[in-house]
Amino acid sequence: MEILIVLWLGLAVAIGAIASNKGRNFFGWFLLSLLLSPLIAGVLLAAAGSKQTSVPSASAHGWSCVHCAEPIRIEAKICPHCRSTLPEVDPRVLELYPQMHGNFRYRRQPDGSVLMATPSGARRFANWNEFWRAVN
């Protein structure tokens, strides 16, 4: 009987860990698997899929290749997706937006706002959290 309890708890912890790796709540899935069963919770977790999002739309938030529209780094000379040669980026952009987050160049303002470089100009975010939500 003790072996079954230990096995049940171990599988519940495993379900919680798998859920956490998929961007879901460890404790919630752990409790669900304890109450229902690790097997049922595992099936539900597999059906729920991953909560983590992919790379944000480059056209909405950052730089994209002019040939294939895939997200790229601002400094790229050749697109890593379609291998096309990219036009030169104005060096002033690199000076004005010295910090990087993923593919996005940004600059923090003294008032707490964040300016992000985009192909169409600068985009202003009221604060770091707003910027973080937009690019993650």
Contact 87, 108 (CB under 8 A): no
* Mean pLDDT confidence for 31-36: 90
* Mean pLDDT confidence for 22-35: 87
Partners of residue 121 on adjacent β-strands: 118
94-119 pLDDT tens trace: 777 777 776 677 888 888 888 887 76
- Can you tell me which residue has the tokens 């604060």? 127
Q: Closest by alpha carbon to 104, among 125, 91, 118, 92?
A: 118
89: left (phi over 0), alpha (psi -120 to 50) or beta: beta
Q: State the pLDDT at residue 109.
A: 86
DSSP for 10-52 reads HHHHHHHHHHHHTTS-HHHHHHHHHHS-HHHHHHHHHHH----
Model confidence at 56, in pLDDT bands (50, 70, 90)? very low
Question: Taking all residues of the chain, what is their mean pLDDT, rounded to a whole number?
Answer: 79
16's tokens: 């919680």
